[in-house]
Homo-oligomer: A and B are copies of this chain.
């Protein structure tokens, strides 16, 4: 298979983790006789520094022509502490999601057997947890009109949803549930928000089309608690943009490190693959950033093109690295100097020699 992959490393630890994912994809291409080409684009704070824009035209054009996009991370501390900045790194990522209409962000939350001890949660609480979060990604309060009064004393954001925006992702989530444990939980705040009531109404209406799926409705405040006290009750979680942002990062505690969480952002015509972690500025270039979220995002990219054996091999490599403690310090209590690159190298080697790779 020929794949033209746009690579947007972005800011902070983005470049170093993305480099490991690219390395892994190259190994896959070699072993399975695929032709993957990689075209790099600027985005985020580094794009602002080099071009003045967080999302240069050229980046959009590279992405539009690509079969898939591999994204790193964006964000920078100086912007975080400057609420007056007019141009912000996040506009790059949000602009790209909107421009390419990547409306369905899919975030798997899987408790790895080998990492059960790493979680802040008790082992029996999380064992066997396997949740798929469907987060709406191109609407809601992220994209509704924003206003700041002329005197700077009043600010507002609109959270708006249309029936169509809800329906298209709800269908995907229902279908995913059908192929899994057949349970869907809609998370909203329908006791307070009009937009949440539209979500609830639409999902209640679609329910009969998926009679074999059990549908649950939960308020976001309650879900934030239930996710911790009883994560195993969830199969597919469907939710709006901001609630999905909050719940998925919270869910990282189940897995043991946010450095493990991958995601796919899908639209009708485009597909982007991105770790859910941020730019983690203070870890930049220290070799401590966990590349697994990025590598597993690459595995989701392979899934997307039906390259099941390839994706599975990448995941086996990840599993083996976890089992053998070839992991960055966020997970490692056994060895203290395994770097970002070393983890990438290990998984690359595994892909070339799945039967031989061992600790050395």
The residues of A with any CB-CB pair to B shorter than 8 Å are 75, 79-81, 83-84, 88, 90, 94, 120-122, 125, 141-142, 144, 146-148, 152-164, 189-195, 197-198, 200-201, 204, 217, 220-222, 224-225, 228-229, 242, 245-250, 252-253, 258, 278
- Chain B residues closer than 8 Å to A258, beta-carbon distance: 225
Contact yes or no, B156 A204, CB < 8 A = no
Residues from chain B with Cβ under 8 Å of A147 in the complex: 194
Contact, CB under 8 Å: A155 / B246: no
* B residues near A81, Cβ cutoff 8 Å: 204, 217
Are A229 and B201 interface neighbours, CB within 8 A?
Answer: no
Contact A83 B225 (CB under 8 A): no
- Which of A153, A160, A250 has the most chain B CB within a 10 Å cutoff? A250
Smallest distance from the beta carbon of A124 to chain B beta carbons, Å? 10
* Contact assessment for A83 and B148 in the assembled complex, using a CB-CB cutoff below 8 Å: no
- Complex Cα spacing A158 to B75, Å: 26
Tell me, in angstroms, the Cα distance from A189 to B160 when the chains sit together: 17
Q: In the assembly, what is the distance between CA of A142 and CA of B163, in Å? A: 21
Chain B residue nearest to A151 in the complex (CB): B163
Q: Shortest distance in angstroms between A251's beta carbon and chain B's nearest beta carbon?
A: 9
A228 partner residues in chain B, CB cutoff 8 A: 120-121, 228, 250, 253
Docked complex Cα distance between A155 and B140 (Å): 10
Closest to A126 in B: B120
Which of A80, A144, A146, A158 has most B Cβ within 10 Å? A158
User: Given the complex, which residues of B lie within 8 Å of A204, measured CB to CB?
Assistant: 81, 83
A42 CB, nearest partner CB in chain B, Å: 19
Structural contact, A163 and B154, CB atoms closer than 8 A: yes
